[in-house]
A and B are shown apart, each in its own frame.
Chain A
């Protein structure tokens, strides 16, 4: 057919081959900056701050240092800003500095299976590349690892074609910080306030990182200090090997080719978590491959069989000590610090697993007080302690919130929508690997296992909320009643005085003492205390579906009976 049409296909292929070459990731980014969160000027400034602050927090926690992060934005001209982020972390050794900041996909976290804010080693170098592309200015990095060592200062650019650092300046400087890292860049940006602003991002970061102090100077030269509310550093998450259930064929083939293990059985036992001798043998049997086969000799077809074999084998869930949740107490502390409400509650679910990846869901709710009325609840979404500010509608967290029935918990809700009323709902997912819908890390993917866990956490927290809301309403009704009678008392006293000739003052005084408004008010306070007692109940009754709180009610009843006995 081809020859009939007279085209020399061989020559064409040769011609194409001359134009075909690998594109560097940096070049790819240049054309696809939206994939990493640099779609527009407003978002760009937020993403740059976020990448720098996330790295600082990760570094501080790893070095077991209480983070103190200084963020400063200065407006140079309209839509051109100077950004400085400085931390008191462990610093970066001299020769790594250019690689870490001026090479995309260079990092320590991609190959480990441990909970961390950053994942791919893409973010901060992407920010520097963005700055370079929009202003042409290099990034300036200062870092010091110890008071006994000098501070190093670099001016760096990224060679886009090679995806390699280009060092413009390299010098030792004096720096008053004992250890830490400071990054400066100039970038094209727009600064606005609101739900998707740098201000909001830092505030939310402060909520879920109550152990961090963040000092922020806005472009308007206002200084906002988010102070530390606890001296307790979160547990350092442990690194784990991948769980067999989470492995896909591509990764498996790569692991088989790079392993040092000499047999398939040893490979399975060394490279995966939860695989012992018996399990390894079971997998081999289910895949119909000899346990003694060399990993490097396993064919593609056999790899496929191996994946099927893994699926057919019962393997215990991965260990979950690799996750570091915020914890119920600190979550409430964080909310109390930055959200002016009257009631706070939180719930942390036990760890669960999706596709071999352990994860844990936490929910915090703030209610009432100065929160605005008659508006949809404010949703604060977090993944590994990083606020998610974009794509709320596309996020699995939002799906779980709207699919939860909030009416039993005392909030208004029309159909499957975000509940209404003076409420802030905070959802945090901690995991060794958070599944996002895109590389911009803006929304959680909709895995049924994750949605289910979020819903359970929402329900658990919702029950605590309902105890408060219902008691509050009860107490309010009591007070309303008392106020009503109080209003009528003078009228009754007046009429009865006119009818019978009894002194009005005496009737007034008698009726008011019968009303006992003071006691009702006192009762009100006792009741709020009771809510807090109720909340300390072990909530065993957290079942799969809504409205199954019978066991919980039973427990409350039991407790009340015990109280009476005492």
Chain B
């Protein structure tokens, strides 16, 4: 990050503080305007094919029984961010949680009780100051692995993603300062499950297919999404997503492609509208005879499916609506690992090469 950016971030925080001091001096109720981060304030921009945040703002008051806690948490985080920026240090989300966590003297009130509270306050601060959390020196946990024919430079070290043993390169939360030296891989497969990534890595799938494999456990972290986006935009690599056949898998795909509702304000730097869904699809289940590995959907799964099917960005997509309908008719979901019933290396030897050769994707 450049010194200029650092000063800009600090300036934004000081601006917020001065606004509040002004409120206090006027004897009015101190207020912070926080853009609303929920579906009601998120829309799908058909032009850029990403989610965009609307203009709705909510007011967060200090003298309001329902707001006061969040209000205090927000400016607590602002204070921590300013201290980090001044010291030139970075902190993890967990660090921030512990920096904010304490009991107000003489009371039984804790500033925060659980980490999601500080995480939320950080996301709010991003919106209030219009800065990303990386810009205000706050990093997420690293939770992703990558392997493939790529050589990068990070903080002066040269790293070859093809020569990192069984673990691969673990993706940091901030990938802005990485420089791609040599990219040989032809495409990227991003998968929902770390276990599947390990399977493909052991089978040297990336070497045989000349590609890059990437994963983060569960929901895709910001660092991973940013890395995918940079590889895609800077080296023009297609990205394919491999998830379980269930509503959560589809949402993981949706987040990578269109952006997430919670981080709609960052869609521009995180979303990759050309991403394709590789599998598992309903047709895969028929073609590869996976019906015997059905897991019955629970009520929450069905409710989530209905919700996703109603999203603006899926509503008019016939291919996806067909998938949703089939999932609903099956009343069941299937995990990626179900493919292992055909043989442990079936996924690397047969399934993936076939799908990619046939270009059997859903957009």
Residues of A within 8 A of B106 (CB): 487
Of chain B, the residue at the smallest CB distance from A507 is B24
Interface residue ranges of A465-508 to B (CB < 8 Å): 481, 484-485, 487-488, 490-492, 494-496, 498-500, 502, 507
Instruction: Flag whether B343 is at the interface (Cβ < 8 A).
Output: no
Of chain B, the residue at the smallest CB distance from A510 is B24
> Can you list, as one digit per residue, whether each of A505-520 has a CB less than 8 Å from chain B (1) or not (0)?
0010011011100000
| 9 chain-A/chain-B pairs, Cβ below 8 angstroms | A496-B20, A496-B24, A498-B82, A498-B83, A499-B75, A499-B78, A500-B14, A507-B24, A514-B24
Please count the residue pairs between chain A and chain B whose beta carbons lie under 8 angstroms apart in the complex: 67
Residues of A within 8 A of B65 (CB): 481, 484
Residues of A within 8 A of B111 (CB): 491
Q: Give the residue of A492, A494, A502, A514 whose beta carbon is less than 8 angstroms from that of B27.
A: A514
Counting from the closest, the 7 A-B pairs by CB-CB distance are A499-B17, A500-B17, A495-B79, A487-B107, A495-B75, A498-B79, A510-B24
A500-B21, A510-B24, A514-B27 known; A491-B72 Cβ under 8 A: yes
Judging by beta carbons under 8 Å apart, are B21 and A485 in contact? Answer: no
Residues of chain B at interface, number, CB under 8 A:
30
Q: Give the residue of B16, B63, B76, B82 whose beta carbon is less than 8 angstroms from that of A515.
A: B63
Q: Give the residue of A481, A487, A496 whose beta carbon is less than 8 angstroms from that of B75.
A: A496
Residues of B within 8 A of A500 (CB): 14, 17-18, 21
Judging by beta carbons under 8 Å apart, are B21 and A496 in contact? Answer: yes
Of chain A, the residue at the smallest CB distance from B29 is A514
B111 to chain A, nearest CB (A): 7
Residues of chain A at interface, number, CB under 8 A:
21
A486 to chain B, nearest CB (A): 9
CB within 8 Å of B: which residues of A? 481, 484-485, 487-488, 490-492, 494-496, 498-500, 502, 507, 510-511, 513-515
Residues of B within 8 A of A488 (CB): 62, 68, 72, 104, 109
| Assembly CA distance A511 to B30 (angstroms) | 9
Instruction: Flag whether B166 is at the interface (Cβ < 8 A).
Output: no
Residues of A within 8 A of B14 (CB): 499-500
A116 to chain B, nearest CB (A): 58
Residues of B within 8 A of A492 (CB): 30, 62, 71-72, 75
| Assembly CA distance A484 to B69 (angstroms) | 10
Q: 8 additional contacts, CB 8 Å, given A485-B62, A498-B82, A499-B17?
A: A488-B104, A491-B72, A492-B75, A495-B76, A496-B75, A499-B82, A500-B17, A502-B21
| Assembly CA distance A356 to B99 (angstroms) | 80
A499-B13, A500-B14, A507-B24 known; A514-B75 Cβ under 8 A: no
Instruction: Flag whether B287 is at the interface (Cβ < 8 A).
Output: no
A271 to chain B, nearest CB (A): 71
Instruction: Flag whether B25 is at the interface (Cβ < 8 A).
Output: yes
Residues of B within 8 A of A484 (CB): 65, 68, 109
| Assembly CA distance A513 to B14 (angstroms) | 24
Judging by beta carbons under 8 Å apart, are B76 and A491 in contact? Answer: yes
B181 to chain A, nearest CB (A): 41
Interface residue ranges of B71-120 to A (CB < 8 Å): 71-72, 75-76, 78-79, 82-83, 104, 106-107, 109, 111
| Assembly CA distance A436 to B17 (angstroms) | 76
| Assembly CA distance A496 to B20 (angstroms) | 8
Q: Which of B16, B18, B24, B104 has the most CB of A within 10 A?
A: B24
| Assembly CA distance A385 to B32 (angstroms) | 65
Residues of B within 8 A of A491 (CB): 72, 76, 104, 111
B173 to chain A, nearest CB (A): 25
B109 to chain A, nearest CB (A): 5
| Assembly CA distance A515 to B30 (angstroms) | 12
Of chain A, the residue at the smallest CB distance from B79 is A495
